[in-house]
Chains A and B, each alone.
Chain A
């Protein structure tokens, strides 16, 4: 792709980041990025995890200040105004995490960022606020009851509400410009939710606002945006019109190289053994019903489904973190359905949870202590020498980059934290790995190494159950993929190598997801 082709843009930009850089500890999140947003356009910001998209958005939104460089809003420098200040200047931000308070009503949430308009003569405007909220939503073709509690809204509608609020609140407050910054708003939406959202965004653009849309789904970007900006490792590596650019080309730009054929180390595919390591039948619990699945030794089985499909719940239940109401789980010839986690771990089950920081690692613990935690199941006194040996071998095995094995995990990058969270199980010699989105929030390099580690686990005759939101990953890694829909298994798709083209498989999986 040619470097930054001149795209005719009338007038001055709404907001402009000039040579901004930002560091967080040891990571260089952004380095010398320049980006302008004009009225009446949607800019798609794409890049791999950790490429700096969210950081750039936070700087543009005035939530954080750049270390060097400046952010200019309509000719005036913008400096760490925070969210409430940003709203008055016309900036609406929707972050990855939903920023609505569930135990407040829709209209209360709507006006939360602008306390002053909640009152007239010192009294709450109980009559007019809900009406204003209803009208604002209607302007975007979004019907909702302003008196409803946000907790009772379906997920899609909460996301709509956030977007309407981000657009309308600055207007109500009399801001002169309108900027909408969206960080991965579609990740957890249903397919029709994505359609509705896109329509909404087009009408917002046509009303004269500037929109920056962050998503890692390329096809969505291409369908929606006017202009694309590609970030890689904190640097701006490409900028182009959205018309006439191919997905492959963008992918190459995002990852920085042609995708290697053996990115998923397909050549290391292990021989699948005849007997199941784990076999669940008729398994039901909160979030999943009537699940039958088997994972054989050496086999990598994928688990696909929407965020609400219950695949994370199923993984947790298999590891014993959630109670099961019915069914059996035979793990290495023992029915563990009602056994506690520690007896499953003792039998050789390893689990990598979806939220790394909340349940995968203890940030204040060191690598040595994290590994050591798995070694105390059958001994009372800590074996310091043994811990050290195990930690060093795991650091070596997974190529963890750390100052020392005594360094707290909080000082490691996300990818390295994930490698430790995964590697610590090796001391238990697992027979089954249950991995829930193992590459979530992990940079490209570490990703490849995690895929390699998964292959090696299978080659050591362990079974692997790999739940993932990324279809490419599932197709690249798995021998077969189980698809979940609304808590039930809806399909089983074989992805043996050279079976079929990956586009067909992807199509088939998506077809069974919704």
Chain B
């Protein structure tokens, strides 16, 4: 028997149990999501629905178009920062400096507005790219685990914000810059929401349709496998931190525009909310699976909750407690633990 005979014979014997794949699932996630029970995936939807029902009953003004626009604007900054965090967490790393990056970008932008006008927002993105480069270099060249590297940069960036502003918020008077976030389009929807929506669509497409997304999933799923396969692992880690930095800084710049002032440490609180939103959306902290798209759900849970509690007149101290409890409950149901052998 010659070689080609054998080849033919082998390829004739196609396995009968192979079926064509469903093309639907490919749009929802970059890498195949692990088989998980339905309720785990659905839980964030249910908790969002539950919260909405409770507030609809408790606060009459809650279910109105005007309030929906409010929620969308209040959630936009968090969505921008959470999208960046999601890319990094998908890769199995973490970026603790997102909040501090946003704060620094906010104050630098506010400081630069008098001379740059609306172009100050570009400065914000450049600041974010710079932070991403530093974080990326610490991770890939100095080889410090991302948790520690970004813990360090977080502290450095917070300090820088305070140094630049002397601890005092910087007011913004330039209307053109303020309109970057607050210009109202159709139905009174502010531009801020459109920025976040655009970033969301781009990130989801990036994750599901492109090499960047696929490589980020692969590095999160098995960094060693990715290296063996010849993926430029270190370069893509770098890219992910750059993207994360840019998105966070964009969030910070738009926050300054929305609030008409850049406040040092003003965006620091977004870091933990962003991580909570990402995990509620189904991306485990060790990365590798889950969709970027569902990060939106986590963001909305947090946004709707804050909005509803405000409408009900719940004070900020109690709000913090309730928010923490909801995050814990939501994560405890939506987290896929089948991959954890050790809890650390």
Instruction: Report if A384-B23 is in contact (Cβ < 8 Å); known contacts: A321-B228, A364-B289, A402-B18.
Output: yes
Q: Among A341, A400, A402, find the residue whose CB has the most chain B CB atoms closer than 10 A.
A: A341
What does the 1/0 interface line of A371-387 toward B look like (CB < 8 Å)? 01110110111101000
Q: Across the interface, do B230 and A346 meet the contact criterion of CB distance under 8 Å?
A: yes
Q: Across the interface, do B3 and A365 meet the contact criterion of CB distance under 8 Å?
A: no
Instruction: Report if A358-B224 is in contact (Cβ < 8 Å); known contacts: A376-B214, A404-B21, A456-B3.
Output: yes
Bound together, the chains give a CA A372 to CA B229 distance in angstroms of 11
Closest to A428 in B: B230
What does the 1/0 interface line of B319-344 toward A look like (CB < 8 Å)? 00000000000000000000100000
Q: Across the interface, do A373 and B214 meet the contact criterion of CB distance under 8 Å?
A: yes
Closest to B223 in A: A359
Bound together, the chains give a CA A403 to CA B18 distance in angstroms of 6
Bound together, the chains give a CA A341 to CA B222 distance in angstroms of 16
Instruction: Report if A381-B21 is in contact (Cβ < 8 Å); known contacts: A373-B231, A410-B34.
Output: no
Contact size class for B? Answer: 35 or more
Instruction: Report if A380-B22 is in contact (Cβ < 8 Å); known contacts: A345-B229, A361-B222, A364-B289.
Output: no
Q: Across the interface, do B10 and A340 meet the contact criterion of CB distance under 8 Å?
A: no
Bound together, the chains give a CA A61 to CA B158 distance in angstroms of 56
How far does the Cβ of A503 sit from chain B's closest Cβ, in whole Å?
Answer: 29
Instruction: Report if A411-B35 is in contact (Cβ < 8 Å); known contacts: A351-B228, A365-B218, A377-B230.
Output: yes
**Residues of A contacting B1 with CB < 8 Å?**
267
Q: Across the interface, do B211 and A382 meet the contact criterion of CB distance under 8 Å?
A: yes
**Residues of B contacting A267 with CB < 8 Å?**
1
The reply to whether the CB of A362 lies closer than 8 angstroms to some CB of chain B is: yes
Q: Across the interface, do A382 and B214 meet the contact criterion of CB distance under 8 Å?
A: yes
The reply to whether the CB of B225 lies closer than 8 angstroms to some CB of chain A is: yes
The reply to whether the CB of B117 lies closer than 8 angstroms to some CB of chain A is: no
How far does the Cβ of B28 sit from chain A's closest Cβ, in whole Å?
Answer: 12
Q: Across the interface, do A342 and B232 meet the contact criterion of CB distance under 8 Å?
A: yes
**Residues of B contacting A353 with CB < 8 Å?**
224, 228
**Residues of A contacting B217 with CB < 8 Å?**
365, 369
The reply to whether the CB of A405 lies closer than 8 angstroms to some CB of chain B is: yes
Instruction: Report if A396-B14 is in contact (Cβ < 8 Å); known contacts: A362-B288, A376-B214, A408-B32.
Output: yes
How far does the Cβ of A319 sit from chain B's closest Cβ, in whole Å?
Answer: 7
The reply to whether the CB of B188 lies closer than 8 angstroms to some CB of chain A is: no
The reply to whether the CB of A485 lies closer than 8 angstroms to some CB of chain B is: no
What does the 1/0 interface line of B196-223 toward A look like (CB < 8 Å)? 0000000000000111101101100110
**Residues of B contacting A156 with CB < 8 Å?**
none
How far does the Cβ of A339 sit from chain B's closest Cβ, in whole Å?
Answer: 11
**Residues of B contacting A392 with CB < 8 Å?**
18
**Residues of A contacting B228 with CB < 8 Å?**
319, 321, 341, 351, 353, 359-360
What does the 1/0 interface line of A320-336 toward B look like (CB < 8 Å)? 01000000000000000
The reply to whether the CB of A268 lies closer than 8 angstroms to some CB of chain B is: yes
Q: Across the interface, do A365 and B31 meet the contact criterion of CB distance under 8 Å?
A: yes
The reply to whether the CB of A459 lies closer than 8 angstroms to some CB of chain B is: yes
**Residues of A contacting B10 with CB < 8 Å?**
397, 399, 452
The reply to whether the CB of A368 lies closer than 8 angstroms to some CB of chain B is: yes
The reply to whether the CB of B7 lies closer than 8 angstroms to some CB of chain A is: yes
**Residues of A contacting B25 with CB < 8 Å?**
406
The reply to whether the CB of B61 lies closer than 8 angstroms to some CB of chain A is: no
Contact size class for A? Answer: 35 or more
How far does the Cβ of B219 sit from chain A's closest Cβ, in whole Å?
Answer: 10
Q: Across the interface, do B232 and A359 meet the contact criterion of CB distance under 8 Å?
A: no
The reply to whether the CB of B57 lies closer than 8 angstroms to some CB of chain A is: no
Closest to A340 in B: B232
Q: Across the interface, do B211 and A376 meet the contact criterion of CB distance under 8 Å?
A: yes
How far does the Cβ of B72 sit from chain A's closest Cβ, in whole Å?
Answer: 30
The reply to whether the CB of B6 lies closer than 8 angstroms to some CB of chain A is: yes
**Residues of A contacting B231 with CB < 8 Å?**
342, 373
Q: Across the interface, do A406 and B32 meet the contact criterion of CB distance under 8 Å?
A: yes
Instruction: Report if A362-B34 is in contact (Cβ < 8 Å); known contacts: A380-B210, A397-B10, A459-B3.
Output: no
How far does the Cβ of A89 sit from chain B's closest Cβ, in whole Å?
Answer: 26
Bound together, the chains give a CA A362 to CA B31 distance in angstroms of 10
Q: Across the interface, do A364 and B221 meet the contact criterion of CB distance under 8 Å?
A: yes
Q: Across the interface, do B31 and A364 meet the contact criterion of CB distance under 8 Å?
A: yes
Instruction: Report if A401-B288 is in contact (Cβ < 8 Å); known contacts: A362-B222, A376-B211.
Output: no
Q: Across the interface, do B214 and A369 meet the contact criterion of CB distance under 8 Å?
A: yes
Closest to B231 in A: A342
Bound together, the chains give a CA A321 to CA B209 distance in angstroms of 28
Q: Across the interface, do A381 and B11 meet the contact criterion of CB distance under 8 Å?
A: no
Q: Across the interface, do B17 and A401 meet the contact criterion of CB distance under 8 Å?
A: yes
Instruction: Report if A368-B21 is in contact (Cβ < 8 Å); known contacts: A345-B229, A456-B7.
Output: yes
The reply to whether the CB of B184 lies closer than 8 angstroms to some CB of chain A is: no
The reply to whether the CB of B26 lies closer than 8 angstroms to some CB of chain A is: yes
Q: Across the interface, do B18 and A381 meet the contact criterion of CB distance under 8 Å?
A: no
What does the 1/0 interface line of B27-54 toward A look like (CB < 8 Å)? 0000111110000000000000000000
Closest to B339 in A: A364
**Residues of B contacting A64 with CB < 8 Å?**
none
**Residues of B contacting A360 with CB < 8 Å?**
225, 228
Bound together, the chains give a CA A376 to CA B26 distance in angstroms of 16
Bound together, the chains give a CA A456 to CA B3 distance in angstroms of 8
Cβ contact of B21, chosen from A358, A364, A388, A397, cutoff 8 A: A388
Closest to A401 in B: B15
The reply to whether the CB of A366 lies closer than 8 angstroms to some CB of chain B is: yes
Could you show 15 A-B contacts with beta carbons less than 8 Å apart? A359-B224, A359-B227, A363-B222, A366-B31, A373-B226, A376-B211, A380-B210, A381-B209, A382-B214, A396-B11, A401-B15, A408-B35, A410-B34, A452-B6, A459-B3
Lowest 10 CB-CB distances: which A-B pairs, in order? A345-B230, A362-B221, A366-B32, A406-B21, A359-B224, A342-B230, A362-B222, A376-B211, A341-B230, A404-B19
B residues lining the A interface (CB < 8 Å): 1, 3, 6-7, 10-11, 13-15, 17-23, 25-26, 31-35, 209-212, 214-215, 217-218, 221-222, 224-232, 288-289, 339
A sample of 12 more A-B contacts (CB under 8 A), given A366-B21, A368-B21, A411-B35, is A362-B225, A362-B226, A366-B32, A373-B226, A377-B230, A382-B214, A395-B15, A401-B15, A408-B32, A424-B229, A456-B3, A459-B3
